[in-house]
Structure 1
Amino acid sequence: MTQDIVLDQGWAPPACTLPTADQPLRVAEFDALFAETVQGVRREERERLRLELAFGPEHAARAAELTARESGCCSFFTFILTVAGGSLTLDVAVPPEHAEVLDVLQARAGAAGRSTASAEAGRPA
């Protein structure tokens, strides 16, 4: 059942070699990263997504570690983490045949970013 949910979300195509039992855990790791760090989401092109993350060495290390593990099981992903000028961005690219996976990633990151922005807007200064 869990695998069906993950596959329905377009997250784990057949090219993914992560064991089925571990796939929901990986999705949860990305959701947590997104919820805690995403400040902006931009779709540069159909096969490319840019995530603006909260700046900080802990966020950069976490994103690097997670994306390195993801590249190990889903080799079709290209992740580029950039730290420059007080900003942190994560560019994600996929080949055209995996663009639907990027659609899901964008939706999840965007939803997490909106939740974070809403929560911060309600906090006293």
Structure 2
Amino acid sequence: MSDRHVPTDDSWVPDACTLPTAERPLRLAEFDQFFRAAVRGADRLSARHLRLHLAGAEQVEETARDLTARESSCCSFFTFEIGRPGADALTLDIRVPAAHVDVLDALARRATSARERR
């Protein structure tokens, strides 16, 4: 997948997001950095559900919890769930309502693209 398929701006961010517009590029950069460092794989379990397989380090889990908590506070339509299926395995499940599948699509492209650029 090439970068031309990945939105480079925040035009795909829905109006339901309450993060101030000026802060959105910073948050996107945080997600991109996290995706590059931590994502080891991705499964699209349904149109509304994405599962990211992450490096299992404790620091990755702390970063995931911090980033998803902050994202949930401004984009309440996201549901994030962090799981530890094994000692060295970590998953991040991301769910959205049907009205925001396009946002999950964009997030999935960003995660996959960032992982490929690593």
Provide TM-score, normalisation by structure 1.
Answer: 0.85
User: Could you say which residue in structure 2 is the equivalent of 1:5?
Assistant: 9
1:114 partner letter: E
**Matched residue pairs, number?**
110
Q: 2:113 aligned with 1:111, yes or no?
A: yes
- After superposition, residues 74-113 of structure 1 pair within 5 angstroms as 74-86=75-87, 87-113=89-115
Distance in structure 2 (CA, Å) of the matches to 1:38 and 1:18: 24
Tell which has more relative contact order, 1 or 2 (C-alpha 8 A, sep 6+). 2
SS in structure 2 of the partner of residue 5 of structure 1: coil
2:108 partner letter: Q
1:5 positional shift: 2.7
Over 3 Å off, 4+ runs: none
- Alignment RMSD (CA, Å): 1.2
1:5 partner letter: D
User: Could you say which residue in structure 1 is the equivalent of 2:4?
Assistant: none
Structure 2: gaps spanning 5 or more residues: 1-7
The structure number with the bigger radius of gyration is 1
